[in-house]
């Protein structure tokens, strides 16, 4: 049998229920793997081992007493360091939040605790979730477990790499323009960005509030559905939280795709739009052919305004960020640059922000402040908001014809460390397939759909109607069950010697 940390959450949950494994054993296997792999991969900013051991012990004791526990009780979980965790440092990948210990839990963290998930640690990320490679972290590099010379994607790169490296069973990320789906794609795991408002943003460090959404990163689609059962639901503390009833996301998983109308978005496939790598394009076409074999009615869809997504995003997201990040002044949170004699308070703010924020964050604050300034607001922010409506309308029209839209999650496989750090625009362009979905507030998902010749994972993106998560999960599950991509595992340590590229192997 595989080591416990290699299993999916639902496999582990079955073992727990049959008393064939305990939460403490699963946690021990996870930390053993961390000891082996973390030095190379670098997923975690902080390990919360004491808290985790207490949680695992309490789950085991409750189970021993015969209590009926939720399905994911005892499952080791990794949290992106953007989620406020009571009593546990939360940095959001930024020096300016160093030493910030939140006095409360995010809504989703409360939910995870109630469901008995065990908090392994907080994962690395791009500073304030701004980036696509996790290289904007103020603290450390995270490497792609499939190829240690490559990025894990971002901004939730630590979470995706942890699931791929089996140093966590499930993980959580946030997605403002692709930060769950793109790292999931680069690391060969499953990631879901729910409908805007489906999951509470309370206690999640804000980046661009009209786009931010929380979601799971998992080894397979069933685990993703189980995590949605934990995370989704109304929260009065988030004014954009949706009041719709929450289904059991596992219920319809096996319904199949017969008659499901699937549209391949042509602009995402290189037609007057995104330039897609040949191998990625081929894998996506093969995936659509597979869905058709399974009974889906596949055709071509069009989103004519897709090309404006990146420029619109880089007005709206920095504008909102410049406002959200105004609160970091060296007084209320974390880091402060001490004043020198003769400094007034404004000078203290200035020094703190100058030293506390990294280059990309400063770039966004300047872009956003400019776009919102008097005289430019109409030309930039208002105009961008109008174009955003056009993109949203494109989706509405496409969904008159289709139930699910598909395309690549990313135009390329994982790129090399350092490849795009000197050129912000090329980094921005790597999100061209995911950003439009945030513009529409729609649910989007990435699942493994193939490998490049060099052995790097390729992700298929599925996009649904508002609150269409169940349809996405059903389509994703049907595809996954007819393939074996999700069974391959990255093993950076064992196969590292001599092999710099493909390091997958079948799961035994």
Q: Which residues bind ligand GLN (CB under 6 A)?
A: 129-132, 155, 175-179, 207, 317, 431
Q: Which is nearer to ligand GLN, 144 or 179 (CB)?
A: 179
What SS3 state is found at 167?
coil
Neighbours of 57 (CB within 10 A): 15
Residue with tokens 């219920």: 251
Q: How far is the CB of 435 from ligand GLN (least distance, A)?
A: 7
Q: Which is nearer to ligand GLN, 11 or 320 (CB)?
A: 320
Plot region of 83 (φ>0 → left; ψ -120 to 50 → alpha; else → beta): beta
Residue with tokens 């109607």: 465
Q: How far is the CB of 175 from ligand GLN (least distance, A)?
A: 5
Is 501 catalytic? The answer is no
State the Cα–Cα distance between residues 467 and 246, nearest whole angstrom: 10
What SS3 state is found at 431?
coil
Q: How far is the CB of 18 from ligand GLN (least distance, A)?
A: 39
Exposure string of 262-292, with b = 16+ CB inside 10 Å and e = fewer, is: bbbbbbbbbeebbebbebbbebbeebbebbe
Q: How far is the CB of 286 from ligand GLN (least distance, A)?
A: 27
Q: Which is nearer to ligand GLN, 77 or 317 (CB)?
A: 317
Is 193 catalytic? The answer is no
According to DSSP, the β-strands at 404-408 and 261-265 are parallel
State the Cα–Cα distance between residues 145 and 150, nearest whole angstrom: 9
Q: How far is the CB of 410 from ligand GLN (least distance, A)?
A: 11
Is 241 catalytic? The answer is no
Q: Which is nearer to ligand GLN, 105 or 360 (CB)?
A: 360
Q: How far is the CB of 155 from ligand GLN (least distance, A)?
A: 4
Taking the CA atoms of 201, 205, 210 and 212 in sequence, report the sign of the dihedral they define: negative
Tokens of 360: 């990309």
State the Cα–Cα distance between residues 258 and 204, nearest whole angstrom: 38
Strand order in the sheet with 190-193: 44-47, 118-123, 76-80, 170-175, 213-218, 190-193, 444-451, 457-464, 404-408, 261-265, 297-301
Q: Which is nearer to ligand GLN, 116 or 183 (CB)?
A: 183
Selecting among 94, 132, 155, 159, the annotated active-site residue is 155
Q: Which is nearer to ligand GLN, 179 or 337 (CB)?
A: 179
Residue with tokens 């403002």: 176
Q: Which is nearer to ligand GLN, 155 or 250 (CB)?
A: 155
State the Cα–Cα distance between residues 64 and 290, nearest whole angstrom: 45
Q: How far is the CB of 125 from ligand GLN (least distance, A)?
A: 9
Catalytic (active-site) positions = 80, 155, 179
């Amino acid at each position: 049998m595989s080591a416990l940390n290699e299993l999916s959450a639902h496999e582990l949950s079955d073992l727990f229920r049959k008393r064939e494994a305990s939460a403490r054993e699963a946690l021990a296997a996870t930390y053993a793997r961390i000891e082996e792999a973390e030095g190379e991969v670098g997923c975690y900013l902080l390990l919360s081992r004491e808290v985790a051991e207490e949680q695992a012990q309490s789950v085991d004791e409750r189970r021993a007493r015969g209590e009926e526990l939720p399905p994911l009780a005892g499952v080791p979980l990794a949290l992106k360091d953007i989620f406020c965790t009571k009593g546990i440092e939360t940095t959001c990948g930024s020096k300016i939040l160093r030493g910030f210990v939140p006095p409360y839990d995010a809504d989703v963290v409360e939910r995870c605790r109630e469901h008995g998930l065990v908090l392994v640690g907080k994962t690395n990320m791009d500073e304030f979730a701004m980036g696509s490679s996790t290289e904007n972290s103020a603290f450390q590099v995270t490497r792609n477990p499939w190829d240690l010379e490559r990025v894990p994607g971002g901004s939730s790169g630590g979470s995706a790499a942890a699931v791929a490296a089996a140093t966590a069973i499930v993980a959580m990320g946030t997605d403002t323009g692709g930060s769950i789906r793109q790292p999931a794609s680069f690391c060969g795991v499953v990631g879901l960005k729910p409908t805007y408002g489906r999951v509470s943003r309370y206690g999640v460090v804000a980046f661009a509030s009209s786009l931010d959404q929380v979601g799971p990163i998992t080894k397979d689609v069933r685990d993703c559905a189980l995590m949605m059962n934990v995370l989704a639901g109304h929260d009065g503390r988030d004014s954009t939280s949706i009041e719709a009833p929450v289904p059991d996301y596992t219920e319809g998983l096996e319904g199949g795709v017969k008659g499901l109308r699937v549209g391949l978005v042509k602009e995402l496939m290189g037609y007057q739009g995104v330039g897609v790598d040949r191998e990625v394009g081929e894998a996506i076409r093969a995936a659509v052919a597979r869905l058709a074999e399974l009974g889906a009615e596949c055709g071509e869809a069009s989103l004519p305004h897709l090309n404006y997504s990146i420029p619109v995003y880089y007005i709206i997201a920095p504008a909102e960020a410049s406002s959200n990040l105004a609160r970091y002044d060296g007084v209320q949170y974390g880091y402060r640059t001490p004043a020198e004699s003769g400094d007034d308070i404004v000078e203290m703010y200035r020094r703190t922000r100058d030293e506390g924020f990294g280059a990309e964050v400063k770039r966004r604050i300047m872009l956003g402040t400019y776009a919102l300034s008097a005289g430019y607001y109409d030309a930039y922010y208002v105009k961008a908001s109008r174009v955003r409506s056009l993109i949203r309308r494109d989706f509405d029209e496409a969904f008159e014809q289709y139930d699910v839209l598909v395309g690549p999650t990313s135009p390329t496989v994982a790129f090399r460390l350092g490849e795009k750090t000197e050129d912000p625009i090329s980094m921005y362009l790597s999100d061209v397939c995911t950003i439009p979905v945030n513009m529409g507030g729609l649910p989007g998902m990435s699942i493994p759909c193939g490998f490049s010749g060099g052995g790097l994972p390729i992700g298929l993106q599925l996009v649904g109607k508002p609150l269409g998560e169940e349809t996405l999960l059903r389509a994703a599950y049907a595809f996954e069950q007819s393939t074996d991509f999700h069974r391959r595992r990255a093993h950076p340590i064992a196969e590292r010697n001599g092999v710099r590229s493909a390091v997958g192997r079948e799961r035994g």
